[in-house]
Amino acid sequence: MKANYPSTTLMTGSTGFLGNFVLRDLLNRGRRVVAVLRAPLAERRERLLKVLEEIGLDVRGCVISGQLVLVEGSLPDNLPAPTWGRTDGILHNAASLELFTNGDPQGDPYRTNVEGAKAVTAWADRHGVSDILAVSTAYTCGWNSGVIPETFHEPQPRFQTDYEKSKWLAEILFHQWSQQPGRTLTIFRPSFLVGDSQTGYTTQFAGFYQFARLVGVLKQQYHEPGNGRSTYIPLRIPGKGDDVQNVAPVDFVSRMIAEIAVRPEYHGRIYHLTNPQPPTNDLFKRCYEEYFGLHGGFFAPADEVVGQCTPAESLLWDQYHLLTPRVVHTPRFDTSNTQRVMQKLGIAFPVLDRDRILMLLDWAAARNWGRNTGGRKLDPARLVHSRRSRSEEIEKNKP
């Protein structure tokens, strides 16, 4: 039997880390979703159904009832024809998370993120869709500092990575599209995502997890059995103890996206889906020390550490190129639009305190930091490329 659903959302990127949670939350709110999956469809479909079940929703019934329609397509060239009937809105969540181009300025991340955004707006125009919700990133602010507003960042900021620039270019394209009367654009800007705040579940093991894994390696290398549980490793940590790292649990971000998506009265704004009380570097340091059994780290000016590391420091800071600039550049995000919706709907931010950070670490460590678990892994080629080019790129892009 085919149920009648009030609204249909075309969604990209539902097979990704955030997309899995957003799809679950949209379906739980009764939304009909047409999810665009890359080929091979059968393989992506099976993985999607498995992950959704792991995060608490058996969607086979939704597929049978027609609440969830799975179609093949990809960006930028292969969005599907609307064989499912009317589309009320597009939730564009797909992106390439490549930090830098591989020397090809037409390649990723630009191809998926910028050409993909053009393709989404063209598809909307072709099929009479006037409501686009796009997932961006809080770091379209680039090197801008101070309080980052929930507005478009113009003039163009200086960026740390091609990824940030590609997401900024996409925002501007969507903004231009929305200037025609009758069109509505909503932009979601999450900061760094970590696992589910209640369970720890994640399928993405970059950033926070990648760093934690390196701390674990450091411990293994310097641990002397017989010297007690806590290993003394004196090393400098670039940055200040009271600087913050803006990480946000994936379930909070997905819930906000879904709640706003199903309520047109909240569309048409930019939302910073960031942590209103981000953990300090010092809290992270204490959690890592406690979890892995270490002491001896101390904060030092970044320019005294990066590039002039001891062997122990090298393990963390030479290989941890991917997040080093974010350790030393920590803007604050205005969240007025987001707070208004949270207050209206009675949503609280799940504070990342010691217990929650240890729970996230524990969940990921038990899955061997995403290795051998079928989680979404970083492409090793991408890592090698990023490592090689990272220092040059950061230097070049510094303000």
Select from 15-23, 53-61, 213-221, 380-388 the region that touches ligand NAP (CB under 6 A). Answer: 15-23
DSSP state, residue 293: T
205 or 266, CB closer to ligand NAP?
205
Q: Does 257 bind ligand NAP (CB under 6 A)?
A: no
Select from 91-99, 230-238, 311-319, 364-372 the region that touches ligand NAP (CB under 6 A). Answer: 91-99
CA distance linking residue 250 with residue 159, whole number of Å: 24
Q: Does 96 bind ligand NAP (CB under 6 A)?
A: yes
Interacting residues with ligand NAP between 265 and 304 (CB under 6 A): none
Question: Measured from the CB of residue 310, what is the shortest distance to ligand NAP in angstroms?
Answer: 30
Any idea which residue has 């300025």 for tokens?
105
CA distance linking residue 306 with residue 324, whole number of Å: 9
- Token pair of 80, please? 């599907």
Among 89, 142, 157, 190, binds ligand NAP (CB under 6 A): 190
- Cβ–Cβ under 8 Å, residues 338 and 271: yes
Q: How many residues bind ligand NAP (CB under 6 A)?
A: 25
Interacting residues with ligand NAP between 199 and 238 (CB under 6 A): 204
Torsion of the alpha carbons at 272, 22, 349 and 288, rounded to the nearest 10: -100
Among 33, 52, 59, 94, binds ligand NAP (CB under 6 A): 94
CA distances from 381 to 102, 167, 181, 217, 318 (A): 10, 22, 45, 21, 17
Q: Does 157 bind ligand NAP (CB under 6 A)?
A: no
Q: Does 137 bind ligand NAP (CB under 6 A)?
A: yes
Select from 10-18, 217-225, 282-290, 387-395 the region that touches ligand NAP (CB under 6 A). Answer: 10-18
Q: Does 375 bind ligand NAP (CB under 6 A)?
A: no
Which residues share a beta bridge with 193? 248
Per-residue binder mask for ligand NAP (CB under 6 A), 23-52, x = binder: ---------------x-----x--------
Question: Measured from the CB of residue 111, what is the shortest distance to ligand NAP in angstroms?
Answer: 7
Phi, psi of 238 (to 5 degrees): -65, 130
CA distances from 131 to 28, 85, 188, 256, 267 (A): 21, 16, 14, 17, 8
- Give CA angle at 294 (357, 358), nearest 5°: 10
CA distance linking residue 187 with residue 170, whole number of Å: 11
- Token pair of 52, please? 């959704």
Q: Does 109 bind ligand NAP (CB under 6 A)?
A: no
Q: Does 18 bind ligand NAP (CB under 6 A)?
A: yes
CA distance linking residue 219 with residue 372, whole number of Å: 22
Q: Does 254 bind ligand NAP (CB under 6 A)?
A: no
- Cβ–Cβ under 8 Å, residues 89 and 129: yes
Any idea which residue has 């009320």 for tokens?
88
CA distance linking residue 287 with residue 353, whole number of Å: 9
Contacts of 286 (CB under 8 A, 6+ apart): 354
Select from 55-63, 87-95, 149-157, 361-369 the region that touches ligand NAP (CB under 6 A). Answer: 87-95
Question: Measured from the CB of residue 66, what is the shortest distance to ligand NAP in angstroms?
Answer: 22
Among 8, 9, 16, 364, binds ligand NAP (CB under 6 A): 16
79 or 235, CB closer to ligand NAP?
79
User: End-to-end CA distance of the chain, in Å?
Assistant: 59
Q: Does 186 bind ligand NAP (CB under 6 A)?
A: no
Among 9, 67, 87, 112, binds ligand NAP (CB under 6 A): 112
173 or 235, CB closer to ligand NAP?
173
- Grouping H, G, I as helix, E, B as strand and the rest as coil, residue 186 is strand
Residues in contact with ligand NAP by CB under 6 A are 12-13, 15-19, 38, 44, 74-75, 93-97, 112, 135, 137, 167, 190, 192-193, 204, 376
